Each structure stands twice: as C-alpha cells, then as structure tokens.
Structure 1
Amino acid sequence: MGLCDGLSHCKLALAFAVMMDLLGGSALLVGVFAKLEINGQDYGDLLVYSGVLLVVASLAGWVLWYSGNIEGLTQKKELGHISTAVDQLARNLSRKIRTYTSHR
C-alpha cells in the first residue's frame, strides 16, 4: 500500500486544485498585508483580485477530483436495463471516430 492510495484517481486534477489554492492564497495574503506601491500606484488590489480568481479556479479542480473519485455507481447493464437510444448513438459515434482516426 502506497502513500497516495486514497487519491487513486484524477491526481492531475488534485495537483491543479492544490496548486491554484496555494498560489491564490499566497497572492491574496500578499495583496492584503504587503505595501505594494510603485510610482504612487498601489498594486495590492491587483493581487487580491487575482488571488480570489485563482482560488475560484481551484474549485473546478476540486470538483473534477471529487467526481472522478466517486465509486460504487453501477452501470445500466449491471442493473438489467436495456441500453437507451442515446447510449447506442454515443457508442456508434465513438466507434466511427475511433475507426476514422485509426485509418489515417
């Protein structure tokens, strides 16, 4: 058993979310607590707003990571349902795209 077994799926989304949280949080804190004046212009607000945007962007990574780690959902075939027309259409389209790209 490894150290990251609990993080089994979507490690890239997890790394993205953590990185955006770290960058956003540090930019936010620097923007709030540091005096950033250059030629009479205050750049603290810029760091505060960009930090908030980075933290909000990290939410996408957290949602992707969480939804990628959901286990226990059964497919319709396992439940005994007949596949729907939408499933068949998606499957056929996927096969056509796959065969088209393999013939190139």
Structure 2
Amino acid sequence: MSHQRDGLSNCKLALVFAVLMDLCGVVVLLLGVFAPLEIKGQDFGDLLVYSGALLVLMSMGGWVIWYSGNIEGLTSKTEWSGGMGGAMDRFARRVSRKIRVPRSHSVA
C-alpha cells in the first residue's frame, strides 16, 4: 500500500482559518476605502480600513501554522535540538498536531 498525500495534507483547519481571515480582511478593507460610510456626520471608513488590515495580519498566524505543519523531513532532530529554533519547532508541531483534522482511511 502506498501512502497518498493530497496537496493540502496537514492542518486543514489552519488553512481554512487563514483563507477566511484573508477574505474577510480584504472585503472589510475595500469597504473602508470605497464605500461612503457616514453615520450622523462621523466617517467610519478609517475604522474599516484598520480593521481589515488587522484581519489580514491575523491570518498570518494561520498561514505560519499551516506551513510549519506541512514541513516534513527537511532537517534532522539533532540540528534543532537546542536554542530558540528547537523550541519554536516543537511549539509549531504541537499546535499543528492539536488542530489537525484526522483523515479517514477507506479500503477499496
């Protein structure tokens, strides 16, 4: 039996989070730029621009978790055994394992 992998493989929840935050952020940012949003003389365009930019920045966390969860076999464990790099690697792997969606295996 060969082990087949799809293009997205691990951490699909982080990928969905990142894509949704990007889409929401871009929509809110563009609304703030192009829509005339005044309520009782107050302009809320700036608030939407900043909120959209913040949503896009928050999506970066999802992209980092998704990307780091899909890295396999690049380095040996002895190279990352100490220092800050090893701690970040262990943290990223622990987070991605907790949010990884289990795959169902079907026998054909």
Which category of TM-score, normalised to the shorter sequence, fits these structures? 0.5 to 0.7
Please name the residue that 2:38 is paired with: 37
Amino acid at match of 1:48: V
Query: With structure 1 as the length reference, what TM-score do the two structures score?
Result: 0.67
Query: With structure 2 as the length reference, what TM-score do the two structures score?
Result: 0.64
Amino acid at match of 1:55: V
Of structures 1 and 2, the larger Rg is shown by 1
Partners of 1:9 and 1:74 in 2: CA distance = 20
Please name the residue that 1:93 is paired with: none
Partners of 1:31 and 1:53 in 2: CA distance = 13
Please name the residue that 2:90 is paired with: none
Partners of 1:52 and 1:14 in 2: CA distance = 19
Partners of 2:76 and 2:8 in 1: CA distance = 21
Amino acid at match of 1:8: S
Please name the residue that 1:65 is paired with: 66
Aligned length: 76
Partners of 1:45 and 1:60 in 2: CA distance = 24
Alpha-carbon shift at residue 14 of structure 1 (Å): 0.3
* Runs of 4+ residues over 4 Å off in structure 1: none
Q: Which has the higher helix share?
A: 1
Alpha-carbon shift at residue 74 of structure 1 (Å): 3.6
Instruction: Give the CA RMSD over aligned residues.
Output: 2.1
Please name the residue that 2:92 is paired with: none
Please name the residue that 1:46 is paired with: 47
Amino acid at match of 1:62: W
Q: What stretches of structure 1 of length at least 5 have no aligned partner? A: 77-82, 85-104
The answer to which of 48-57 and 65-74 deviates more is 65-74
Sequence identity (%): 69
Amino acid at match of 1:10: C
- CA offset digits 1:5-38 (Å, max 9, x no partner): 1100000000000000000000000000000001
